[in-house]
Chain A
């Protein structure tokens, strides 16, 4: 069964350093997402991506964050200068379609996540 994959599973970095989190969405899916979950808290939306551009982003997704689809399979999240509060699980997800007419949304499938620890 096709699945979303993410690397690395755990990333430890020093405050102020840049990190790149990588994802391979399900191959025929067209919409890609990044979410994060701080330990013990809700899952939070960061950004959605379609047709090589950002479709939607949350307030969390500020200028320190960027996303890219560098080739036909990878989808990356870059944090330019990490802060202590960026420590969280980061999940990539993908869906075949996005929002269809009449408010119906396709199911989103999640990867296993990358645990980011900022020291």
Chain B
């Protein structure tokens, strides 16, 4: 059974600090990883995709991928109260046409003013 695991939190971070969110995956062959943000009662909103080992930066967000250790992380710099949400990690299920994304349970992030 392919799995994507996340700590459910909540993770509480002071405003202006760096929030670090982690995700591990079981399928060593996975090549694509996605971070989504989900506000309560809303749909997942794509923040970052990452395909290669190393860091990928987009504004205040940095995704990090380490395929050897099978983890992917998301750093949020200069955290704002509006960043308070649940962050979902997703990766495609291998096998067949494998279009489906497998999702972690999400980490609830709370930014304290």
Contacts and interface: CB of A to CB of B under 8 A. Distances in A.
B103 A105 contact: no
A18 interface: no
A44 interface: yes
B97 A56 contact: yes
B113 interface: no
Contacts of B82: none
Interface residues of A, number: 28
B34 interface: yes
Contact of B94 (A43, A45, A103): A103
B31 A48 contact: no
Interface residues of B, number: 29
A75 interface: no
Chain B interface mostly helix, strand, loop or mixed?
Answer: loop
Interface string A32-66: 01010000011111001010000110100000000
A56 B98 contact: yes
Interface string A88-119: 01010000001100111101111111000000
Interface string B34-50: 10100000111110010
Given A91-B44, A103-B31, A103-B32, 9 more contacts: A42-B104, A45-B100, A45-B101, A56-B98, A58-B100, A89-B43, A98-B99, A103-B94, A110-B45
